C-alpha cells in the first residue's frame, strides 16, 4: 500500500468524475463509511447508507450522481462509485514488485524456457518444455508440468499446480492451492467395475482471468476445457472436464459445474450453485446462489431455485405443499374436464 497521500484533484484528473469541495484534501487509504477516519476515502453506492454517510469520519467520499448533495464532505461524484472505488484501490494498493530470478531451491528443467524478467520462488518445480513469459511470478512451491505455458504478467501464488500441457494466458492471477489440469471424472462401467478413461485434453485459460484459492479445473477428456478471457472464479469452485466458461463470466465460491457444460459470456453465478453436466447456459444469465440447474438455459435473465431460509414450521408447510402439487394438479385437470363436459351439455 502506498504511503504517499493523493490529492482529490489528482484522482479526478486520473479517473474523471465531478469534484465537489476542497481539491487539496489528501487521502492515504480506502475505508468503509463506518470504519473510516481522518485521511481515509470512503464510498456510498446506495441511498440506504445515508445514515452511515452522515456519521462517517472520512476525509472525503465517492458518491453516485443521485446523492451529490447528501453530505457537506469533500466528494467525488460519478456514475458508478463501486467501479471508481475499485480503480482508486488499485492505485492505492498496487501489487508488490517482483524480483527477477530463480530461487536457489527451485528445480528447473534445462529444457524449460524462462524469461529473464520472471521470478521463480523457493521450492518451485518446473518440468521440461515449460514456457514462462515476461514478468511472471511464481510463489513458493508451485509445480508446472511438461509443456505448460504461462503468459506474460501472470502471477501464481504459493503451491499452485498446473498439470502438463495446460496453457495460462497473459496477466492471469492464480491463488494458492489451485489445481489446473487434473484428470476429469471419466470412468466407464465394466462388469461391475469402473474402467478409467484417459483424459488427453488440456485446460486453456485466457488473458486477464483470476482463479480463487483451492479451485480445481479438470482437463478435457478429448477436447480442451476452456476458460475464456476475463473470467473471474472465486474460491473452492469445481469445473469438470470439457467445460467452457465464456468471457467475462463471474462465478462465486463453492459452485460445482459438471463436465461438458458450456456457460456463456457475461454470466454471473452465485455461490454454491450446482450445474449439471452437458448443459448449455446462454449469455448474460444470472444464476442465484444455491440454485440447482438441471436443464439448459437459453434466454438471458435471472434464475433461482432455492427456498430462502424460513422458520422451521413454515418451511415444513411449504415443503408439504410442494410435495402435494402433483395431486393438486391432477385434481385441477379433473375439474377442468368436468367443467368442459358441463359446458358441452348446455
Helical residues (DSSP H) of the chain, grouped into ranges: 8-15, 50-55, 81-92, 312-323, 325-345
Measured N-to-C along each axis, helices 325-345 and 312-323 cross at an angle, to the nearest 10 degrees, of 50
**In whole angstroms, what is the distance from residue 246 CA to residue 238 CA?**
16
- Which among 46, 48, 8, 2 is positioned nearest to 28, based on CA atoms? 2
- Which among 17, 43, 19, 18 is positioned nearest to 30, based on CA atoms? 43
Q: Which residue has the cell 471424472?
A: 185
* Maximum Cα–Cα distance across the chain: 96
DSSP string, 86-111: HHHHHHHSPPPPP--EE-TT-EE-TT
Does 266 participate in catalysis according to the annotation? no
Strand order from edge to edge, sheet including 292-293: 107-108, 125-126, 143-144, 161-162, 179-182, 216-218, 238-239, 256-257, 274-275, 292-293
Count of CB atoms situated within 10 Å of the CB of 302: 11
**In whole angstroms, what is the distance from residue 267 CA to residue 121 CA?**
35
> 125 has which bridge partners?
107, 143
What is the three-class DSSP state of 120? strand
Catalytic residue among 241, 248, 266, 278: 241
DSSP string, 27-64: E-EE--TTT--TTEEEE--SGGGHHHHHH---SEEEEE
Q: Which residues are catalytic, by number?
A: 241
Amino acid at each position: 500500500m502506498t504511503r504517499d497521500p493523493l490529492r482529490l484533484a489528482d484522482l479526478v484528473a486520473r479517473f474523471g468524475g465531478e469534484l465537489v469541495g476542497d481539491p487539496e484534501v489528501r487521502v492515504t487509504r480506502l475505508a468503509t463509511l463506518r470504519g473510516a477516519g481522518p485521511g481515509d476515502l470512503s464510498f456510498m453506492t446506495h441511498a440506504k447508507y445515508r445514515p452511515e454517510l452522515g456519521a462517517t469520519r472520512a476525509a472525503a467520499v465517492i458518491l453516485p450522481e443521485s446523492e451529490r448533495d447528501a453530505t457537506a464532505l469533500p466528494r467525488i461524484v460519478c456514475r458508478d462509485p463501486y467501479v471508481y472505488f475499485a480503480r482508486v484501490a488499485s492505485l492505492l494498493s498496487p501489487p508488490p514488485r517482483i524480483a527477477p530470478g530463480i530461487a536457489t531451491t527451485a528445480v528447473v528443467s534445462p529444457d524449460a524456457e524462462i524469461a529473464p524478467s520472471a521470478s521463480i520462488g523457493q521450492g518451485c518445480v518446473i518440468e521440461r518444455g515449460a514456457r514462462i513469459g515476461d514478468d511472471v511470478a511464481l510463489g513458493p512451491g508451485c509445480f508446472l508440468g511438461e509443456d505448460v505455458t504461462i503468459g506474460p504478467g501472470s502471477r501464481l501464488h504459493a503451491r499452485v499446480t498446473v498439470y502438463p500441457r495446460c496453457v495460462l494466458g497473459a496477466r492471469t492471477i492464480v491463488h494458492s492451492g489451485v489445481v489446473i489440469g487434473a484428470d476429469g471424472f471419466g470412468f466407464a462401467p465394466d462388469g461391475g467395475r469402473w474402467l478409467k478413461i484417459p483424459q488427453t485434453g488440456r485446460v486453456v485459460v485466457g488473458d486477464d482471468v483470476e482463479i480463487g484459492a483451492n479451485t480445481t479445473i479438470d482437463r478435457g477428456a478429448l477436447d480442451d476445457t476452456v476458460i475464456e478471457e476475463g473470467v473471474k472464479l472465486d474460491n473452492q469452485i469445481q469445473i469438470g472436464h470439457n467445460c467452457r466458461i465464456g468471457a467475462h463470466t463471474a462465478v462465486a465460491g463453492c459452485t460445482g459445474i459438471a463436465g461438458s457444460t458450456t456457460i456463456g459470456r457475461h454470466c454471473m453465478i452465485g455461490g454454491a450453485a450446482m450445474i449439471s453436466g452437458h448443459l448449455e447456459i446462454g449469455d448474460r444469465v444470472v444464476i442465484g446462489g444455491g440454485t440447482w440447474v438441471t436443464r439448459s438455459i437459453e434466454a438471458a435473465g435471472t434464475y433461482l431455485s432455492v427456498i430462502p431460509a424460513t422458520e422451521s414450521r413454515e418451511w415444513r408447510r411449504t415443503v408439504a405443499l410442494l410435495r402435494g402439487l402433483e395431486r393438486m394438479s391432477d385434481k385441477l385437470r379433473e375439474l377442468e374436464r368436468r367443467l368442459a363436459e358441463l359446458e358441452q351439455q348446455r
